[in-house]
């Protein structure tokens, strides 16, 4: 025999689950029932409760119909009113930031995997009483979007907004719990005016500069690619074109001034070692010597009579040819 001493409703996230059904409430009220009675009652309850949701032709549960009901109910529920947090509540803040998707078409299963993981984190910490901030946005400002719009003979703004609406609907259909009141798109002037402001501050403080540099050029997308966007065969990850090396004027940030600070702070991060190693390699601080090779014979009208070279292995200079 199983005796219930106390009956409680358990709050899970924003929804409430009742431990006792209508058919077993009588037994619960008296406090005593057998496991077989509970099992039988639950089976009857399931038949009654889900009869409305069974497709008469297939005899299977109409999950789309059932989801529509509850998504409508949750959408109608008023979100919690945002108000200033107390000092104790600030201590319970938790920030979940996931990579914003490119609004290039529709979501695929790779997106579903990533956003399911972030959604689990959001719900887990919220259920533990933390004040979770989980924003969503769209990485929507780039040449690939313009090229895609040109291919379809529509304005880039129209193409991008259509994709954002489609992908947002998809995220809603898989019931991700983002703070949509914090939504942003990087193509909005209200957003990129701040990236422009930051750049101007860097420029005023001599933190950015312009110079000629060799870049990876995609002749189809007509854009510059990072090394990571070029595959092992020397082709663009997006267009498949053979990547060309071109010298173009580029903007650079003087992050080398802070290379040691960045490397030192990696030790304070609770990240996997292989990720910290990748970051250290990306920062690329290297100790060595800079020297010059004299041009012999000199090149007429050359700006310099020598070539400046940096090496971290000065001991190998005697083998240079």
> What element of type H or E holds 312?
none
Q: What pLDDT is recorded for position 252?
A: 92
Q: What pLDDT is recorded for position 3?
A: 36
**If you average pLDDT over residues 201-230, what whole number do you get?**
92
Structural contact between residues 261 and 279, judged by C-beta atoms closer than 8 angstroms = no
pLDDT band for position 256 (50/70/90)? confident
Q: Is the pLDDT of residue 26 over 70?
A: no
Residue 91: closest CA among 49, 58, 131, 125: 131
Among 9-13, 94-98, 213-217, name the one with the lowest average pLDDT.
9-13
Among 49-53, 164-168, 231-235, name the one with the lowest average pLDDT.
49-53
Q: Which carries the bigger pLDDT value, residue 28 or residue 313?
A: 313
**If you average pLDDT over residues 274-295, what whole number do you get?**
86
Q: Is the pLDDT of residue 228 over 60?
A: yes
Longest dimension (CA), the chain: 106
pLDDT band for position 319 (50/70/90)? confident
**If you average pLDDT over residues 239-243, what whole number do you get?**
92
For 58, the token pair is 């297939």
Q: What pLDDT is recorded for position 39?
A: 55
- 35-92 pLDDT tens trace: 454 455 555 555 556 677 788 888 888 888 888 888 888 777 766 666 777 888 788 8
Q: Is the pLDDT of residue 239 over 90?
A: no
Q: What pLDDT is recorded for position 122?
A: 94
pLDDT band for position 143 (50/70/90)? confident
> What element of type H or E holds 201?
helix 189-204
- 169-210 pLDDT tens trace: 999 888 898 999 899 999 999 999 999 999 999 999 999 999
CA angle 159, 230, 250 (to 5 degrees): 75
Nearest-angstrom CA–CA distance, 156 and 164: 12
In angstroms, how far is CA 26 from the centroid of its own chain?
49
Residues counted in the chain: 321
* Secondary structure letter of residue 298 according to DSSP: P
**If you average pLDDT over residues 213-225, what whole number do you get?**
90
Q: Is the pLDDT of residue 289 over 50?
A: yes
Q: Tell me what the pLDDT averaged over the chain comes to.
A: 81
Q: Where are the beta strands (DSSP E) in the chain?
A: 2-3, 10-12, 15-17, 32-33, 93-95, 131-133, 135-138, 179-185, 208-218, 223-225, 244-253, 289-294, 306-311
Q: What pLDDT is recorded for position 167?
A: 95
Residue 41 region by backbone torsions, left for phi larger than 0, else alpha for psi between -120 and 50, else beta: alpha
What is the four-CA torsion angle of 31, 37, 43, 45, rounded to 10 degrees? -40
Q: What pLDDT is recorded for position 91?
A: 85
Nearest-angstrom CA–CA distance, 252 and 208: 5
Among 19-23, 47-51, 239-243, name the one with the lowest average pLDDT.
19-23
Whether the model pTM is above 0.85: no
Q: What pLDDT is recorded for position 76?
A: 79
Q: Is the peptide bond before 68 cis (omega within 30 degrees of 0)?
A: no
pLDDT band for position 299 (50/70/90)? confident
What DSSP string describes 217-269? EETTTTEEE-GGGB-TTSBBTTT-PBPEEEEEEEEEE-GGGGHHHHHHHHTTS
Nearest-angstrom CA–CA distance, 175 and 67: 10
Q: What pLDDT is recorded for position 42?
A: 56
Q: Is the pLDDT of residue 232 over 80?
A: yes
* Secondary structure letter of residue 91 according to DSSP: T
């Amino acid at each position: 025999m199983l005796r219930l001493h106390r009956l409680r409703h358990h709050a899970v996230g924003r929804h409430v689950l009742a431990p006792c059904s209508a058919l077993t409430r009588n037994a619960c009220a008296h406090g005593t029932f057998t496991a077989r009675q509970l099992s039988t009652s639950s089976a009857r309850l399931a038949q009654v409760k889900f009869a409305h949701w069974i497709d008469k032709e297939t005899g299977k549960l109409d999950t789309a119909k059932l989801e529509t009901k509850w998504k409508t109910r949750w959408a109608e529920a008023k979100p919690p009113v945002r108000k200033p947090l107390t000092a104790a509540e600030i201590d319970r803040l938790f920030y979940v930031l996931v990579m914003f998707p490119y609004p290039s078409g529709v979501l695929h299963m790779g997106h579903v995997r990533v956003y399911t993981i972030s959604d689990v984190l959001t719900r887990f910490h919220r259920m533990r009483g933390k004040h979770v901030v989980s924003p969503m946005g769209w990485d929507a400002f780039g040449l690939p979007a313009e090229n895609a719009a040109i291919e379809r003979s529509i304005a880039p703004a129209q193409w991008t907004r259509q994709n954002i609406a489609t992908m947002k609907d998809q995220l809603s259909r898989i019931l991700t719990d983002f703070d949509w009141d914090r939504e942003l798109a990087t193509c909005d002037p209200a957003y990129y005016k701040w990236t422009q402001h930051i750049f101007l501050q860097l420029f005023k403080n001599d933190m950015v500069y312009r110079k000629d540099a060799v870049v990876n050029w995609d002749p189809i997308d007509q854009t510059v690619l990072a090394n990571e966007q070029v595959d092992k065969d020397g082709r663009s990850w997006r267009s498949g074109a053979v990547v060309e090396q071109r010298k173009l004027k580029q903007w650079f940030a003087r992050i080398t001034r802070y290379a040691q600070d960045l490397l030192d702070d990696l030790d304070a991060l609770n990240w996997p070692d292989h990720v910290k190693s990748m970051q250290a390699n990306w920062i690329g601080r290297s100790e060595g010597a800079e020297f010059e090779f004299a041009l012999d014979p000199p090149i007429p009208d050359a700006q310099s009579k020598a070539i400046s070279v940096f090496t971290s292995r000065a001991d190998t200079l005697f083998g240079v040819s």
